[in-house]
Amino acid sequence: MSPRCLIVNADDFGQSPGVNRGVIQVYEKGILTSASLMVRWPAAAEAAGYARRNPDLGVGLHLDFGEWIYRGGDWLPLYRVVDESDPGAVGAEIRLQLDQFERLVGRPPTHVDSHQHAHRNPPAITLLAEILDGCGIAVRDVSLPYCGQFYGQDEKGAPHPEWISAENLLRIASEIGPGATELSCHPAAAADLDTMYSIERLTELATLCDARVRQAIAEMGIQLKSFAGWRSYAGACA
């Protein structure tokens, strides 16, 4: 059987001090290999500083067009950065956040994804492909298989802590196919965000730092990788 490679990527790096501490802890003590930076938030500078000092952590751009929350039986905007249906505004915002990333981190992103998967929708997906054409930057759910099963809520925000348990994480890992796969996560060391997904981040932190998880993944023969140089090892693992 061909080798299996797993990129464990934390979303929301830079969104809050608690998220930053969680991402750093899981990188240093757990199975995290990569993170996606939200450049518009006050804690982004702190996160970028850590990335500059730790170049082995693969750091990409977490595009932020806004956030939606489920309340009263409907999805409502918590905040909006840009009109996601306006191609001109979306293209300008993608370029602005890419530029801000390079100013903060001092290098291009290893990959690009987005808050609440906004980059998957038109016109963002087409514009992103045009802007990144020839750059060698991975795009979530486009460049390689993506797994979003390690998440502690359903599509309406109902809690499911069993989905972010060590047992479920190991089940997910055992089922990844040959080649390289990205697994997203959302750890934090403090519930300091006004968002639907808050206390679950603390559970994710504990699971991702569980020594049994790292040992079991190693015993499965799964190689933990970052997005840095993903093309070369994706080919080797295929």
Instruction: Convert the pLDDT of each residue in 21-79 to its tens digit.
Output: 999 999 999 999 999 999 999 999 999 999 999 999 999 999 999 999 998 889 999 99
Q: What values do phi and psi take at 29, rounded to 5?
A: -125, -5
219 Cα distance to chain centroid: 25
Considering only CA atoms, which of 150, 216, 160, 185 is closest in space to residue 27?
Answer: 185
Does the pLDDT at position 237 exceed 80?
A: no
- How do residues 91-127 score in pLDDT, each as one tens digit? 999 999 999 999 999 999 999 999 999 999 999 999 9
- Using 50, 70 and 90 to split pLDDT, how confident is the model at 238? very low
**Residue 231 confidence (pLDDT):** 63
Decide: helix, strand or coil at residue 226: coil
The domain locations on the chain are: 4-237
| Whole-number Å distance between alpha carbons of 61 and 40 | 11
Mean pLDDT value across the chain: 94
Contact 114, 64 (CB under 8 A): yes
Cα distance between residue 174 and residue 208, in whole Å = 15
CB hemisphere CA count around 134 (13 angstroms)? 0
Q: Residue 161 contacts by C-beta under 8 Å, 6 or more apart in sequence?
A: 152, 200, 203
Confirm if 111 and 227 have CB atoms less than 8 A apart.
yes
Reply yes or no on domain 4-237 having CATH 2.40.40.20: no
- In sequence order, what are the residues at sequence separation of 6 or more whose Cβ sits closer than 8 angstroms to the Cβ of residue 75? 68, 69
